[in-house]
Structure formats: C-alpha cells, structure tokens
Amino acid sequence: MVALLAGCSAGGLASILHCDEFRELFPEEIIVKCLADAGMFLDVVDVAGGRSIRNFFNGVVTLQGVSKNLPEYCTSTMDPTSCFFPENLVANIKTPLFLLNAAYDVWQLYESLAPPRADPEGYWTACKANYNNCNSSQLQVLQDFRQRMVDSVKEFQLLQKNGVFINSCFAHCQTERQDTWHGPASPAISNKGIAKSVGDWYFERAVVKEIDCPYPCDPTCHNLVFNASSIFL
C-alpha cells in the first residue's frame, strides 16, 4: 500500500506543512510521500518595498492560531509567520517530498510582488496580464524572483529522497490541468514532462532534480495570459 498527500496552491502549502504529520498516520511499512504543486510561497519584498505576502500570512497565522501546529524545529529559532513559509521548512521535512513550481508563479506575481496596493499607479498592470509587456526593469525583478525560488530549494534538493521540478513558466498549479500535467505538449525540462517526472520520483525509477534555465529559454511552457482589465484570483 502507498499513500500520497498532494495539493496545489494553498493545498500545496498544506501538503508541505502537514507532510510529516501525514506520514505519522500510517504504519511504518506503508510508503508515504507528498507532492506540493505551486506551494512554494516566498517571503519576498513587493515592488513598493512592503511585505504584502508576509502581512497576509501573518493574518492567517494569527487568526487561525496555527503557531502551536508549526514545526518546533522552526518556531524554536524563528517567528511563527516565518515558519509558515515553505522555504524555512522544506529542508527539514523527513518524508519524501516533491516540489513542483513555476519559477514565475503568476499568483505570487499578482499578490506578492506587485499587488494593487503596492502599485497604485498601475505600472505593473500590463506586465502582470502578459509577460510580453514587461519592460527590462520589470523582467529583472522577475528574474530575481526566480533566483530566490531556485535558492530556496538548494538544501532541499541535496537529499536524494526529494524531487524538484521548477520550470521557467508563467503559471500557477500545473497538476490540475490535463494539458500541463500529462498532455502531448506538456511543459518539459530535459525532454521530460511533469507527470513523467513525478512518476519517476514516486516509483523511484530515477532521481528528479530539474530546474529550468531562465525565461525565455523554455518553448514548452503554457504561460497564463490575462486581459489587462481582468481580476486574477
């Protein structure tokens, strides 16, 4: 018998937070693994110099009183809100974990890097709607974000039991759509798609530590493009 705890976005974050706890629900002989899709939320500074995502996560931690449920190895050295960010947790998770994420996560672009409150003049509106509209300075911000994403998994990927697939796409959640998960033109790194990569890790057919080159190198991406006037949720 095998068990897999998986989720995307907030569910991906939950998969990270509860991975070891989930493992403890099963007898030792049961194979247990976790998959987090788009769950690597980063504690970044927004374009106005504020901490939009940190303030949001602090509200969640405070409102729901989750401090007592966060790993002690983290809360013993950091504040509870910091321990809600996966970058401060993943290297210490004991259960095998696969991290699937877009390096240019569009939810984080909208809500962490350039939320409306940090961009009241709408300087980032066109760029957020379509990455082709980003100017050179905006692209540098996005490249810095990608590098932060890559750096956040350096220690995590040293452990053979873990898997990593970070592609250079403008996307969010890639397991819940057939065209990105297992379609004939699914996003790929080194000619291997997402489902094949996860499967190779899960069934231990191969070690999977795939990190894409920076935008615009990957023609396999399914990039999300929005109308500039639309609201992204």
For residues 182-193, average pLDDT:
95
For residues 190-204, average pLDDT:
96
Catalytic residue among 172, 186, 197, 212: 172
**Pick from 110, 100, 108, 93: which is nearest to 8 by CA?**
100
| 194: enclosing H helix or E strand | helix 194-202
Show the tokens assigned to 49: 């110099």
- Helices and strands of the chain, counted as H and E runs: 9, 7
Q: Is 67 a catalytic residue?
A: no
**What pLDDT score does 64 carry?**
87
Confidence of residue 166 (pLDDT cuts 50, 70, 90): very high
**What pLDDT score does 227 carry?**
65
Confidence of residue 231 (pLDDT cuts 50, 70, 90): very low
pLDDT digits (tens, 9 = 90+) for 113-147: 999 999 999 999 999 999 999 999 999 999 999 99
Confidence of residue 229 (pLDDT cuts 50, 70, 90): very low
Q: Maximum CA pair distance of the chain?
A: 57
State the pTM of this model: 0.94
**What pLDDT score does 137 carry?**
97
Per the prediction, the chain carries an average pLDDT of 94
**Percentage of the chain modeled with pLDDT above 90:** 92
Confidence of residue 233 (pLDDT cuts 50, 70, 90): very low
**What pLDDT score does 142 carry?**
98
pLDDT of 218 > 90? The answer is yes
The residues that bridge with 97 in the sheet, in sequence order, are 34
Confidence of residue 21 (pLDDT cuts 50, 70, 90): very high
pLDDT of 89 > 80? The answer is yes
Catalytic residue among 105, 112, 197, 212: 105
Q: Is the dihedral of CA 162, 220, 7, 227 positive or negative?
A: positive
Cβ atoms 72, 135 nearer than 8 A: no
Q: Is 105 a catalytic residue?
A: yes
Residue with tokens 């998959």: 35
Q: How far apart are CA 230 and CA 214, in angstroms?
A: 27
pLDDT of 228 > 60? The answer is no
**What pLDDT score does 1 carry?**
76
Q: Is 43 a catalytic residue?
A: no
Residues 6+ apart with CB under 8 A from 42: 53, 85, 87, 108, 112, 145, 148, 149, 152
